[in-house]
Amino acid sequence: MNHQIDAFFNALIEHGASDLHLIESQPPKFRLHGDIQPLREEPLTHAEMEVLLSQICGEDRWKHFLESGDLDFAYEMSEAARFRCNFYKQVHGYGAVFRLIPTRIATIEELNVPLVIKRFAHLTGGLVLVTGPTGSGKSTTLAALIDYINSSMHRHIVTIEEPIEFVHRNKMSVITQREVPDDARTFAEGLRSSLREDADVVLVGEMRDLETISLALTAAETGMLVFGTLHTNNSRKTVDRMIDVFPSSQQPQVRTMLASSLKGIVAQLLLKKADGKGRVAVNEILIASNAVSAIIREGAPEKLQDVLVSGRAIGMQFMDDAIMEKLKARVVNGTEAYMKAIDKQRFEQFLPPPAHP
């Protein structure tokens, strides 16, 4: 069944763009290589937005959106095109953002992320966090890891997502995918249920609150392999976020739990390529060790940088070192490297000279 919005989606695919933005009283726009560009000049009217949005979400979801002002779900236009949809209300009326989800799951090799992350798939328990800002490719990297497990091991994998983005077919493993709030009311509820579902591997789409993080730590301690995501840019900020969610009275206990259950952190950023043709992923990789556990227990995450730098031989990688490699290979320019780096001073020398008036 064709919907009016499909014309916009087809234009998005033809341009090779990643996101479609529809905002009432503004022209429709798409994101191409990190920049937002208009699709046409005429602004979207209220009547047009109502038709475009209501056609693809069904009566119940549309009613929920009208009542709450927010809606997240996935829409499959065809076997070759699936979209993550977010509807919202804004000062001029309706708004929506659509992210194109590839229907074919890329492999870890195809993503060009460090192959050492395959080690995390072979763990029989513990917590692995994939982090980065919105739109940095966390879901894509996690989908590749889950597909690697699915293709090479006999496991029961449970995913809890809002919404389900990549659809996995059973291969060697059995995969159960649950969507919040349709199949489980919350991430925490879905995670709690997984403890009773004979799951070997659990993917938690977003670890945004104390209850979900607490349950993830408990599940990891009981021998389940838990993959989770956070919107943090590097290992130090990730450890801080995991602990700062809890009241100060609980933080010493949480540090002890995290020190024993954390097996790795994969932080991911996307940098604009110097030639303007797309973006490239850079990763920080933290692999759990006795030193990492001790640092977390003593509450000194600033020491993680030394461990990341000294752990190169076992596959660790510090974010600024990964950015420097891309800069030296001329994949990215000095301005982009400086903007994304943790230690700005290290990259100041690569900035272009200021323009004189």
What does the pLDDT look like over 231-287, one tens digit per residue?
Answer: 999 999 999 999 999 999 999 999 999 999 999 999 999 999 999 878 889 999 999
From 100-104, 158-162, 190-194, 324-328, the region with the lowest mean pLDDT: 100-104
Q: What is the H or E stretch that residue 64 is in?
A: helix 46-68
**Domains of the chain, with CATH numbers?**
6-101 (3.30.450.90), 108-349 (3.40.50.300)
Report CA-CA distances (Å) from 168 to 93, 118, 177, 198: 36, 18, 8, 19
**Nearest CA to 136 among 267, 285, 318, 319?**
267
- How confident is the prediction for the chain on average, in pLDDT? 91
Q: Is 349 exposed, middle or buried (0-12, 13-18, 19+ CB in 10 A)?
A: exposed
Within 10 A of 143 (CB to CB), how many other CB atoms are there?
23
* pLDDT band of 164, cuts 50, 70, 90: confident
What does the pLDDT look like over 328-352, one tens digit per residue?
Answer: 999 999 999 999 999 999 999 998 8
The whole-number pLDDT of residue 74 equals 86
The whole-number pLDDT of residue 357 equals 61
Q: Which two tokens stand for residue 169?
A: 């077919």
The average pLDDT across 185-193 equals 89
Q: What is the H or E stretch that residue 22 is in?
A: strand 19-23
Residues 6+ apart with CB under 8 A from 15: 30, 32
What does the pLDDT look like over 139-161, one tens digit per residue?
Answer: 899 999 999 999 999 999 999 99
User: Cα angle vertex 262, ends 117, 154, to 5°?
Assistant: 55
* pLDDT band of 355, cuts 50, 70, 90: low
* Whole-number percent of the chain with pLDDT over 70: 99
* 5, amino acid identity: I
Report whether 293 contacts 259 (CB < 8 A): yes
The structure's pTM equals 0.84
* pLDDT band of 132, cuts 50, 70, 90: very high
Flag whether pLDDT at 291 surpasses 70.
yes
The whole-number pLDDT of residue 19 equals 92
The average pLDDT across 42-60 equals 92
Report CA-CA distances (Å) from 277 to 55, 75, 141, 325, 331: 34, 28, 21, 18, 10
